[in-house]
Amino acid sequence: MNELLKLFMAFARIGAFTFGGGYAMLPMLQKEVVEKNHWATEDEIMDYFAIGQCTPGIIAVNTATFVGYKTKGIPGAIAATLGMIAPSIIIITVIAAFLKNFADLPIVKHAFNGIRACVCVLILNAVTKLAQKSVVDKACLGICVVVLLLSLFSPLSPALIIILAGAAGVLFKRTGIAGGGK
């Protein structure tokens, strides 16, 4: 199969069969990109997730773009990105046309409650996998705890917290506080 079509189809499957946004897609992205197609390594996909989170846009779309670009340059980036967004556009269009008529039905409300619960578990799974690969020493654990506390209990912008965490990582590495890691 043509590699561009393969990129498009892989990301279209991810886009079509995951609910809950970028974080819920992370386990499928990891499985499809790293394990099945070997388009990226574990470390590369984690870097793509991190950069995708820091750049404007949806993390899953940004990650698809990075993977597509790494695999086949600009045409690959376009194919992967279109694959990721095409199912959402189609699904949202269909839902918008019909949901207004069904949104108040108890079965629809219960279905969305079930989907939300599932998405929470998928996000927790993604966070667990990322933490196992990202928290590699005591300095990283300290940064992780501080970032968690800041994000939960301070009014600081997530963008500022990311910049501060990155600066702390660089500072810790340069001063020798951070041990292992990348």
The encoded tokens of residue 176 equal 């020798």
On the CB side of 84, how many CA atoms lie within 13 Å of its CA? 26
- Pairwise CA distance, residues 76 & 70, whole Å: 8
pLDDT in tens, 36-66: 999 999 888 888 888 887 788 888 888 899 9
φ/ψ of residue 30, rounded to 5? -60, -45
Burial class (CB in 10 A: 0-12, 13-18, 19+), 114: exposed
Q: Sketch the domain layout of the chain as residue ranges.
A: 3-134, 135-176
Provide the 8-state DSSP code for 31.
I
Question: Which residue did the predictor score with more confidence, 26 or 76?
Answer: 76
Burial class (CB in 10 A: 0-12, 13-18, 19+), 47: middle
State how far the alpha carbon of 93 is from the alpha carbons of 15, 19, 82, 89, 129, in Å.
14, 15, 16, 6, 33
pLDDT in tens, 83-133: 999 998 998 888 888 777 887 889 988 988 998 898 888 888 888 888 888
- Pairwise CA distance, residues 45 & 59, whole Å: 12
Helix spans in 20-157 (H):
22-29, 42-54, 59-102, 106-134, 138-153
pLDDT score, position 21: 66
State how far the alpha carbon of 19 is from the alpha carbons of 22, 65, 112, 119, 153, in Å.
9, 19, 10, 7, 28
Average pLDDT across the chain, whole number: 87
End-to-end CA distance of the chain: 35
pLDDT in tens, 1-25: 699 999 999 999 998 887 766 677 7
Provide the 8-state DSSP code for 18.
-
Question: Is-above-0.75 flag for pTM?
Answer: no
Contact present, 137 and 179 (Cβ < 8 Å) = yes
